[in-house]
């Protein structure tokens, strides 16, 4: 039987040629004579190209300086293609040429690589050639990728028509399966990249002679190393091994790196085969680290870290039990941790069998039943990207089988003791992230402020929380809120007297510790009115823990940008104390020494001295403002909307015009949302000055009422450095104020000019 394969093969990219070679070889072992259809379009392998941007011009200058090595690389790609790829005798340049050729194939195979990524073709539309539309032959797909988490509705409609011609469809990532299912209703199998269908021994047979004598650290970065840099630096320091850089990106990843510009695919294989360690941000770099069983660390894009369910690297490493090899996360492995290669090989062999089983069924035009992953025996809880750390699962466990344990980013996550767990499912039922919330009517929105000027002065904004807390305490109740202790550790405490409320006032920009708090709330609810104040996820977690909304519970959630790492905060405290040579006695994140709109970070030391600076001119404030070390779930927070869990929502009333409420702005004004009828009843009795406010303007001034904050690109790099470098060095690198000329330019340049300058510098 004869098959034609449409794929990327001619582009001088290691992954493209190696996946094409692997696909063709596997088809041969399954009894098919396979040609790669020599369709050459939108591919430019020239070493020197006419530059269209300043960055490309600089690249061409570099290419000219390295021309001999790059020419050798070019020839090695051509030689590998001739030696290991069987192409059609003719090259085709268009869909029409292919249709007119009437190619003699019983079967057309689409795959793999990003042949179904519309974004890489002119006009952002699919190339119909890669769906085999030029031929009436039966069509199957093996591991094509859409290369993106999302495609537009228009392109999705186009995809539906193309997929109707396939008898069998498989994709490389779980996200691809979702796209296929939504567009066509078909269930696509998720299979391995073709490079993983061959064994390490088979790849070794295609490798060149050893290029580098002795042991070395191989670095293969197809973009800036970013978060990989501290891992490369520390590995080089601790092992004393030389750094060999296989050049995708041309900037040195280490000052002493030896740059390799002339490697073709065979040399690529040799470099991985003989490396002692690998650091890479390439998918195929990760693949061949696994194939040759090399200790490795891999970096992924910020988008992949934010949405790992859409990432091919996360998908692969999760299936092989290697997720801790991704850097910039709280569960990243230690630098010299051993890898359990026998366990990895066992999982890889199982995945390989499933992928080959799909391919055999597709080639024979037989049904294929998608294999489901092995069931995890652990209880179902929110994954690390979505877990809020609310501790509801920990609190409800009847066997004390769950504890909250800090990860390497300083955030607490549930850890299940499987020897104690009886699989009762109570923790799963309590997890807020696994259950949709009830849709509430839109809230009533107010500008509000406390009539007591002293309370208002000590509050972050208008002092509305204190009025609500006073109401509950006067009713014989208790108030739970976040307070800093003597070591500046933030935890929720119970407050029974008005005299102690000062500890709960004011914003605290760090996630609070809820250990044992939900249990204490439940106990108090047996006899008295309780007010609980916290982030929206904490409020929702409390309701899930309690199993409902008791009548004598009042809740207040906060307009929240996201919660910073407790670990980072407490290291910052020790850093401040070391720098000043004194212990911190108290901290105010938002002090009104210069008024509400110019909040100061104020530190009081044990000898009575005080430091106070505008919040966003401090190292911690600058990093918080950039959302640099927020909890992973904060970047796609489901509570960043007007469907609030609390009876009340409190925040600052930002966005007021200069002439609005002129007598109140300097003192601070609260944004107050009344979300429930219970809240409305209490609100009518509070001694607050108030004024109705537009919901649209409230959202404009507080964007987190409508959408979560975006994850900054440098977050992974921050936490990679945080894991390996002294904290002082991390702070200096990521949080220090820029030089005075840069600060001056920042004040003078318009936002548009800043954006253009950043784009220019990236080129």
- The more confident residue out of 522 and 665 is 522
- Give the residue-averaged pLDDT of 517-523: 98
pLDDT digits over 550-605, tens only?
Answer: 999 999 999 999 999 999 999 999 999 999 999 999 999 999 888 888 899 999 99
Tokens of 194: 């073709």
pLDDT digits over 215-241, tens only?
Answer: 999 999 998 999 999 999 999 999 999
Q: Report pLDDT for 546.
A: 97
Q: Report pLDDT for 52.
A: 63
Q: Which residues pair with 217 in a beta bridge?
A: 243, 277
Report which secondary-structure segment, H or E, holds 483.
strand 478-484
pLDDT digits over 682-726, tens only?
Answer: 999 999 999 999 999 999 999 999 999 999 999 999 999 999 999
Cα separation of 653 and 463, whole Å? Answer: 12
- Above 80 in pLDDT, residue 742? no
pLDDT digits over 467-486, tens only?
Answer: 999 999 999 999 999 999 99
For the chain, the residue count is: 763
Q: Report pLDDT for 54.
A: 63
pLDDT digits over 298-316, tens only?
Answer: 999 888 888 887 788 998 9
Neighbours of 642 (CB within 10 A): 17
pTM metric for this prediction: 0.88
Mean pLDDT over the full length of the chain: 92
- Above 70 in pLDDT, residue 746? no
Cα separation of 633 and 382, whole Å? Answer: 10
DSSP letters for 419-460: TT-----HHHHH-GGGSPPPPPPPPEEEEEEES-HHHHHTSS
Tokens of 228: 């990989």
Q: Report pLDDT for 614.
A: 94
- Give the residue-averaged pLDDT of 460-466: 93
- Give the residue-averaged pLDDT of 535-541: 98
The residues, ordered by sequence, that sit 6+ positions from 520 with a Cβ below 8 Å of its Cβ are 480, 494
Q: Report pLDDT for 312.
A: 87
The tokens 């060149």 sit on which residue? 208
pLDDT digits over 426-442, tens only?
Answer: 999 999 999 999 999 99
Strands (E) in 97-211, as ranges, are: 107-110, 138-141, 166-168, 170-171, 189-190
- Above 90 in pLDDT, residue 751? no
pLDDT digits over 63-94, tens only?
Answer: 777 889 999 999 999 999 999 999 999 999 99
Cα separation of 517 and 392, whole Å? Answer: 10
pLDDT digits over 171-200, tens only?
Answer: 988 889 999 999 999 899 999 999 999 999
- In the structure, what pLDDT confidence band is assigned to residue 759 with cuts at 50, 70 and 90? low
- In the structure, what pLDDT confidence band is assigned to residue 659 with cuts at 50, 70 and 90? confident
Cα separation of 746 and 763, whole Å? Answer: 21
- Above 60 in pLDDT, residue 761? no
- In the structure, what pLDDT confidence band is assigned to residue 749 with cuts at 50, 70 and 90? low
Q: Which residues pair with 408 in a beta bridge?
A: none
- In the structure, what pLDDT confidence band is assigned to residue 120 with cuts at 50, 70 and 90? confident
- In the structure, what pLDDT confidence band is assigned to residue 540 with cuts at 50, 70 and 90? very high
pLDDT digits over 361-370, tens only?
Answer: 999 999 987 6
- Half-sphere CA count of 745, side-chain side, radius 13 A: 11
Neighbours of 507 (CB within 10 A): 17
pLDDT digits over 50-63, tens only?
Answer: 666 666 666 667 67
Q: Report pLDDT for 311.
A: 86
3-state DSSP call for residue 204? helix
């Amino acid at each position: 039987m004869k098959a034609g394969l449409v794929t990327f093969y001619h582009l001088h990219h290691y992954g493209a040629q190696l996946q094409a070679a692997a696909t063709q070889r596997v088809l041969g072992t399954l009894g098919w004579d396979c040609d790669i259809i020599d369709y050459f379009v939108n591919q430019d392998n020239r070493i020197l190209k006419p530059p269209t941007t300043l960055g490309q011009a600089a690249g061409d200058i570099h290419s000219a300086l390295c021309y001999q090595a790059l020419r050798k690389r070019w020839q090695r790609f051509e030689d590998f293609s001739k030696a290991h790829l069987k192409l059609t005798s003719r090259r085709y340049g268009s869909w029409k040429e292919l249709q007119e050729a009437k190619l003699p194939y019983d079967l057309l195979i689409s795959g793999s690589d990003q042949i179904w990524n519309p974004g890489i073709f002119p006009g952002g539309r699919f190339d119909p050639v890669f769906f085999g539309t030029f031929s009436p032959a039966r069509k199957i797909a093996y591991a094509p990728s859409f290369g993106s988490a999302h495609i537009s509705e228009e392109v999705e409609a186009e995809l539906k028509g193309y997929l109707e011609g396939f008898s069998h469809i498989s994709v490389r990532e779980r996200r691809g399966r979702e796209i296929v299912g939504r567009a066509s209703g078909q269930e696509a199998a998720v299979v391995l990249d073709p490079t993983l269908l061959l064994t390490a021994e088979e790849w070794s047979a295609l490798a060149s002679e050893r290029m580098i004598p002795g042991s070395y650290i191989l670095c293969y970065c197809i973009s800036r190393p970013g978060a990989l840099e501290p891992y490369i630096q520390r590995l080089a320091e601790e092992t004393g091994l030389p750094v060999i850089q296989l050049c995708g990106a041309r900037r040195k990843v280490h000052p002493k790196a030896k740059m390799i510009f002339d490697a073709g695919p065979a040399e690529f294989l040799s470099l991985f085969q003989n490396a002692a360690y690998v650091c890479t941000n390439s998918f195929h770099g990760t693949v061949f680290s696994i194939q040759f069983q090399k200790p490795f660390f891999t970096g992924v894009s910020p988008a992949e870290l934010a949405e790992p369910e859409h990432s091919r690297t996360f998908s692969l490493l999760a299936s092989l039990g290697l997720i801790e090899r991704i850097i910039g996360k709280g569960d990243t492995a230690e630098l010299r941790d051993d890898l359990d290669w026998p366990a990895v090989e066992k999982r890889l062999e199982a995945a390989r069998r499933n992928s080959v089983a799909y391919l055999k069924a597709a080639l024979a035009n037989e049904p294929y039943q998608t294999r489901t992953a092995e069931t995890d025996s652990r209880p179902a809880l929110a994954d690390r990207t979505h877990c809020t750390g609310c501790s509801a699962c920990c609190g409800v466990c009847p066997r004390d089988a769950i504890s909250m344990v800090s990860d390497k980013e300083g955030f607490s996550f549930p850890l299940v003791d499987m020897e104690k767990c009886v699989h009762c499912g109570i923790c799963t039922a309590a997890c807020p992230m696994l259950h949709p919330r009830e849709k509430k009517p839109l809230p009533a929105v107010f500008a509000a402020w406390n009539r007591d000027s002293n309370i208002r002065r000590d509050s972050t904004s208008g002092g509305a929380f204190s009025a609500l807390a006073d109401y509950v305490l006067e009713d014989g109740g208790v108030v739970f809120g976040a307070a800093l202790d003597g070591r500046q550790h933030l935890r929720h405490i119970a407050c029974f007297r008005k005299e102690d409320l000062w500890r709960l006032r004011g914003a605290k920009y760090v996630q609070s510790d809820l250990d044992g708090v939900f249990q204490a709330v439940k106990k108090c609810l047996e006899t008295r009115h309780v007010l609980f104040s916290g982030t929206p996820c904490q409020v929702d977690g409390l309701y899930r823990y309690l199993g409902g909304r008791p009548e004598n519970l009042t809740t207040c959630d906060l307009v929240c940008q996201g919660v910073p790492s407790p670990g980072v905060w407490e290291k910052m405290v020790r850093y401040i104390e070391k720098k000043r040579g004194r212990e911190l006695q108290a901290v105010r994140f938002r002090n009104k020494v210069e008024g509400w709109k110019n909040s100061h970070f104020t530190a009081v030391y044990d000898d009575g001295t005080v430091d106070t600076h505008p919040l966003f001119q401090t190292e911690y404030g600058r990093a918080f403002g950039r959302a640099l070390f927020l909890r992973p779930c904060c970047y796609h927070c489901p509570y960043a909307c007007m469907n609030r869990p609390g009876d009340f929502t409190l925040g600052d009333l930002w966005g007021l015009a200069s002439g609005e409420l002129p007598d109140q702005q300097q003192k601070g004004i609260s944004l107050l949302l009344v979300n429930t009828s219970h809240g409305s009843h209490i609100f009518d009795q509070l001694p607050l000055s108030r004024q109705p406010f537009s919901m649209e303007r409230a959202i404009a001034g507080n964007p987190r009422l409508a959408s979560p904050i975006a994850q900054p690109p440098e977050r992974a790099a921050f936490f990679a450095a945080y894991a390996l470098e002294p904290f002082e060095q991390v702070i200096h690198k990521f949080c220090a104020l820029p030089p005075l000329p840069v600060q001056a330019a920042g004040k003078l340049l318009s936002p548009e000019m800043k954006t253009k300058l950043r784009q220019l510098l990236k080129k």
